[in-house]
Homo-oligomer: A and B are copies of this chain.
């Protein structure tokens, strides 16, 4: 009973997902550490990168993240000069963001590290196993949890 301190190997899908998330998150964070970015920040820079000066709302939707949470997460990246925001020309309510030249460089730098983490992980679980896992997770992300509260 030394390390098998897991009597009830939680049947909770949410708890299991979070636990694996903490573990994997730390791994990616460790590998990305030399770049000074956290896994989340890397993902956010990437998302901005592949978008066309995306609006905050668009990013939040793509990442299935609360809009205000995105705003908070974006702050350190703007503060450090990796991202810059500007108002949309046609709708001043909309705030768009883009990477600064510095942000672009940082993304490239971090991508090299990310590749290492990604390869190391897939070498352990298998490339297809990883792909299947991502597919399953994307399926969850696409689920429509609703109806219950009597519409």
Contacts and interface: CB of A to CB of B under 8 A. Distances in A.
A118 B11 contact: yes
A124 B3 CA distance: 34
A51 B7 contact: yes
Given A5-B62, A58-B5, A121 B13 contact: yes
Given A21-B17, A65-B22, A120-B145, A9 B138 contact: yes
Interface string A122-142: 101100011011101111110
Interface residues of A, number: 62
B64 A140 contact: no
Given A22-B63, A23-B140, 15 more contacts: A6-B62, A10-B47, A12-B43, A12-B114, A12-B118, A14-B24, A14-B39, A15-B43, A16-B137, A18-B21, A18-B39, A19-B65, A20-B137, A120-B145, A121-B145
